[in-house]
Amino acid sequence: MELNKRIDAAARMGRSNRPKKRKKGDEDELDAAADAEVVKIKLAMELAALEDQESNKKGQPAVAKLKILQDVVDVLQKQSLMQSIIDHNLLENVRIWLEPLSDKSLPGLTIQRNLFEALGKMFIDANALKESGLGRIMLFYTKKNKRVTPAIKNQATNLVQTWSRPILKRSASYRDRTLVTADVDPASGKKPIKLSQILAQGRIEDAGRVRRNAVRIPQRAMPAFEIVPKSNVGTSGTNSQQTLIEAERRRAQEARLRQVQRKVALNKQRMSRM
């Protein structure tokens, strides 16, 4: 009873601390109810995680998460709560539930399966992934690890691929994959330029931006180019047409590089004015 009172009280406080949206009465009441439901399950998840950590340290079964697992899944699957889930960063609690316990053991398979299935039915954008840390823990489950079952590893891999495709605007078909080719001279010692190196500073500066309470459309992340050495097998002499194509491709890459550099410079100017 005491625990329920604490959760209910915190849920009411969670709504009062947020700026109220200028909506009509009925819509505002629906928002308040959604926020209260999400905050309540968020606090319950936090308490369950702490209880399981304590039980694990004492060598006792960690069952607190299992007791409220179905309630958590029900909340995650409600589309009407998605905005509140993002606003209150409930996905961070999902990440905490999936992390190893103090003895490095993983949460039960039932918890892993149910949460992975629930996540697979949700639309999660790049900002929500970054703020919650879900991407990092999901990558952990994709790596070779005796503690991770093959089925769970496959689920995690599918989630990572699903989250990556809209961000990078990549097709699910392998046939659509394209690789940039370029002449590579091993003797020169020069390494191919990667856009990720140029954007690194911009990402650091963007980390301090103010978080907007809205579900956002995923923005394209600029990946590092994959440079594939051009094959010379089966060729003789210099093909002038191929040389022109390669030169045009390099010019396009350089133009794109300059465009990104200008974008980073503009971001620096905006940040300096804030």
Please report, for the chain, the start and end positions of each structural domain, with discontinuous segments joined by +.
2-174, 180-273
Q: How sure is the predictor about 211, in pLDDT bands with cuts at 50, 70 and 90? A: very low
pLDDT value of position 180: 46
Q: What is the mean pLDDT of the chain?
A: 75
C-alpha span between 85 and 97 (Å, rounded): 16
Provide CATH code, domain 2-174: 1.20.930.10
Give 107-161 pLDDT, tens digit per residue.
Answer: 999 999 999 999 999 988 888 988 999 989 999 999 888 889 999 999 999 999 9
The two tokens of residue 143 are: 């790596």
Q: List the one residue out of 122, 33, 136 whose CA is nearest residue 86.
A: 122
Instruction: Say whether pLDDT at 204 is over 80.
Output: no
Give 60-114 pLDDT, tens digit per residue.
Answer: 999 999 999 999 999 999 999 999 999 999 999 999 999 999 899 999 999 999 9
Q: Which residue did the predictor score with more confidence, 156 or 225?
A: 156
CB 86 within 8 Å of CB 80: no
The arithmetic mean of pLDDT across residues 169-175, rounded, is 47
Strand ranges, E, within the chain: 180-182, 227-229
pLDDT value of position 208: 53
